A and B are shown apart, each in its own frame.
Chain A
Amino acid sequence: MTKQKKVCMLGAFAVGKTSLVARFVKGIFDERYLTTVGVKTDRKDVAVGDETVRMVLWDIQGEDELQPIKPSYMTGASGCLLVVDGTRPETLDVARRLKIWGEANAGPIPFVMLLNKVDLTADWALQDEDLQGDNRPGCRVIQTSAKTGEGVEDAFRILAEKMTAGDA
């Protein structure tokens, strides 16, 4: 059985949301940065047990003061990926704020927080203690790299599992 699930990618601008989707869906990575305007949708099937979760990914533009995200994009979302740039600690705050915002607009849905750009070890700025309180059953935290692919599949698979568990 295949079930469609709407998944929103949230995070500050330039944390790598589009790259993560490209890596997850198409298995590619492009060094160039192209900012997302509005939203871009994509699709990927993930097998969970004997079910197939068809994730319809809404890659929403990065949050910043000039471009607030439209609440309507969250309508009907079944899960959410919060993306943090591990080299920019301030993006963690944005992610935390977006989590609250997302819950307010889509209800209590599962979240997975992605600490992206883990390949940039030299510039890594997040310490474990920074994340205390973030890694909870309702919000897993996973280190990823869109460039190397590390953790990407896991992150999406975990969210798919959580969304399926929500149905059961």
Chain B
Amino acid sequence: MSDEALSADHETRAAERPEDPAPTPEANLDALESLRDIVFGKRLEQLEVLRDRVGRLKVTLAELHASADQRDAAAARELAERIAATDALGARLDELQARATRIESEARTALAEGADAAEALARRVDAAEALAERVEGEGGLAERIEHVERLTDRVDDIERLAQRVQDIDRLDERLATVEPVRERVVDEDLRAEDVGAVLPRAVAARARKDGQLAASLRPTIEDTLEASVRRNPQALVDIIFPVLGPAIRKMIGSAITSMVGSINRAVESSFTIRGLKWRMQAWRTKRSYAEIALMHGLVYRVEELFLIQRGSGLLLAHASRGPESEEPEVISGMLTAITDFVRDSFDVEQGSEVETFRVGDLTLVVKGGSKAVLAATVRGVPPPALHDRLQTSIEEVHRDYGRQIDAFDGDMESLAGVEALLEPNLLEEAKGRKKRGPASLVFWVLLAVVAATAVTSLVTNRMRAARVERDVRQLARTLQAEPGIVVTDVHEGDERWIVEGLRDPLAADPEELRAKSAVDGEDVELRMGAYRSLEPVFVQRRLLDRLSVPDTVRATWRDRTLVLTGPVYSAWIRTALQAVADVPEVDGVDISGLTPDPALDALLVSRAVLIAQRVPVDTPVTDELIASVREQVEGARTTAGERFAVELQVITLLPRAEDEPKARAQAATVVRLLERAGIQSTEVFRSPADLARPKPDDLMPAGDSPEIRFDLTVRLAEGGR
């Protein structure tokens, strides 16, 4: 409010009280002061009290600040540790956060209420101010206003104070929630429980991340193991014995294998007499050469096996080959006493064992396990493989009978069956025969090889020869059985077998029959002369070939009779009858089924018989004659063309019966020569009776002397009909 305004206000108020006498300034001042005292006295007292409280609160606040800061810091530290320690606590802190937010909002509400109170106070101050202005003159007003302003500042301070108090309350609440967390952090049992709950997951998570965990744990684990082993080495021995034994054996085994391999390579190139002998043995026994070589140096026999309880020396089991010791328990005890004695008497490494005793050619091989010892008496030189075997055996005993051995009370029955594990170790490698002189050995071997080869060869040859003869004779029988083939002789030639005989050209090919048989082509020669077989099958085939049966006619056989059926031109019937009559092996021809077909006869109009030549039977068959006939046949064929067939008949005309042999021979020669010249012909004979009854075809009469006539018959070709 400006001074003018205030002044104006004052005047107005003065004007509203006209009845008041005009006071003196002193009296006014006094009155004002007393009024001030009355009006503000109480207020000032209150403000004084407030000031004191503010002062005290300030101190408290500072202390609280310090302590809260301290506690905050501690709590924060603990919280940080806690958060790092567990995810669960982190969640709880979130919850705390939520609660804090809630409290804050509550505080804000409280503050709003405080503000309302302050506002009310301000209103009252305003009223007081108004009153003061009304009472007070212009001079003291500024001072009072200043005073009131100071008061207003104090009220602001109080407001801030209230806020701080709220803050403190909030901190207290937060501290209350932090307390259980602190407890969990401070209490070692609870902390251990919490850490235990997440430890496996934490370890796994860390191990996945990197190798830091393993690196950190390594020294501790190593120290622990070392301490444990130092304190009770037997426990570790018990644990690793079944594992370590096979592992070491495997390693040694592979080392030996590679050594055997190198020995093999080394000796493989050595060709001594002994080497050859061993090589043969290796070949015979299907073992490696090196193995055989080793075996010859290592002949031995395991005589007895003792399974002995470690420590007490009591006999757990006993196995032997042949006569056994009378008192194996005594040997078992003594053996234990001796090995104990040796071990106790000499400065040997912890866990070392006596492994071998040797007296003359007797060797005692001892293989120890954690609970029992296996001792074998061996006659001769035990091979390294035996050591491995015995070691495996004692490991098996531990594996299968470890508990029974621990509980052994002197009753061997309780370990029944353990002998079965031991007995396979009763091995024996017999010594070979007395060594022969190397030269003698080679001689015998060579002699045996030569003799065996000779005998084998002889026997093989003899067997083969016998087999060939058997096969050739079988082939001869097969050929003989074949129609149209006649075997006349089978004999052994200089280099091969020879089969001689005759063959009809229509018969099966003997070479093909040979190929189907077991006989090799080089082992046999087939010498076959030609002949005409009178077997019906061949006679019939030849007859039908010569008849050139028209395709309207069907020819079948009834025993030795030719049965012809079907339509035919009438002239062919005569041809057929003639042809059949010429073959003595055929009984006859049944032409009852043949029906002369006029249509077919009509076709024969075009048939013509040309007399190509006629010569006396006495006339020599010359090349000129054949060539002349051939020329005429070919000329006729050319003239006739494809539609006509030209057939040549060699007709022997026999006016006198006594001329027949000579005439027939002549005719056969002519036919053969014509055949050779590429002309097929058919032979026809005209007996004296035939000539007495001339046929329509006989265009020229027969003379008095026998003669051969060459008839060319031209008719429509079969395809042309």
Scan A29-45; emit 1 where CB is below 8 A from any B CB, else 0.
Answer: 00000000011111100
Task: Spot the interface stretch: B288-296, B409-417, B543-551.
Answer: B409-417
Please choose the segment from B99-107, B138-146, B216-224, B332-340 that sits at the chain A interface, where 4 or more of its residues have CB less than 8 A away: B332-340
A41 neighbours in B (Cβ, 8 Å) = 313, 329-330, 333-334, 337
Residue of B nearest to A5 (CB): B410
Can you give 5 contacting A-B residue pairs, CB < 8 Å? Answer: A4-B315, A6-B313, A38-B338, A41-B313, A56-B330
List B contacts of A43 (CB < 8 A).
327, 329-330
Contact status A76-B314, CB under 8 Å: yes
- Specify the main secondary structure of chain B where it touches its partner: helix
Smallest Cβ distance from B314 to chain A, in angstroms? 5
Binary per-residue interface labels of chain B (331-351) against chain A in the complex, 1 for a CB within 8 Å, 0 otherwise: 011100110110010000000
Is residue A1 within 8 Å, beta carbon to beta carbon, of the partner chain? Answer: yes
- B-contact 0/1 string along A57-101, CB 8 Å cutoff: 010000000000010110111100000000000000000000000
Chain B residues within CB distance 8 Å of chain A: 309, 311-315, 327, 329-330, 332-334, 337-338, 340-341, 344, 409-413
B329 A3 Cβ-Cβ under 8 A? no
> How far does the alpha carbon of A63 sit from the alpha carbon of B207 in the complex, in Å?
61
Asked if A70 meets B311 with Cβ closer than 8 Å, knowing A4-B329, A54-B410, the reply is: no
Q: Which of A1-48 contact B (CB under 8 A)?
A: 1-6, 38-43
**A43-B327, A56-B314 are contacts. A2–B411 as well, Cβ < 8 Å?**
yes
Give Cα A78–Cα B333 distance, bound, in whole angstroms: 14
CA A143 to CA B410, docked complex, whole Å: 29
B410, A70: Cβ atoms under 8 Å?
no
Q: Is the CB of A72 within 8 A of B413?
A: no
- Does residue A129 face the partner (Cβ distance < 8 Å to B)? no
Question: Can you add 7 more A-B contacts, CB < 8 Å, to A3-B411, A38-B341, A41-B333?
Answer: A38-B338, A41-B330, A41-B337, A54-B410, A58-B333, A70-B341, A76-B313
Q: Contacts A4-B412, A70-B341, A70-B344; is A54 near B311 (CB within 8 Å)?
A: no
How close is B105's CB to chain A, nearest CB, in angstroms? 79
Say if the beta carbon of A130 comes within 8 Å of chain B: no
Chain A residue numbers with a CB within 8 Å of B412 are 2, 4
Contact A40 B344 (CB under 8 A): no
Residue A167 at the B interface, CB < 8 A? yes
For A3, give the chain B residue with the smallest CB separation: B410
Q: How far is the CA of A29 from the CA of B218 in the complex (A)?
A: 67
Smallest beta-carbon distance B57→chain A, Å: 81
Chain A nearest CB from B286 CB (Å) reads 46
List of A residues within 8 angstroms of B341 by Cβ = 38-39, 70
Residue of A nearest to B326 (CB): A43
B591 to chain A, nearest CB (A): 118
Q: Which residues of B contact A54 (CB under 8 A)?
A: 329, 410
Query: Once bound together, how far apart are the Cα atoms of A42 and B334, in whole Å?
Result: 9
Kindly provide the distance from the CB of B518 to the nearest chain A CB, expressed in whole angstroms. 77
Q: With A and B bound together, what is the CA distance between A78 and B330 in angstroms?
A: 16
- A72 neighbours in B (Cβ, 8 Å): 311, 340, 344
Alpha-carbon separation in the docked complex, A4 to B329 (Å): 8
Give the CA-CA distance A58 to B311 in the complex, in Å.
13
Residue of A nearest to B331 (CB): A41
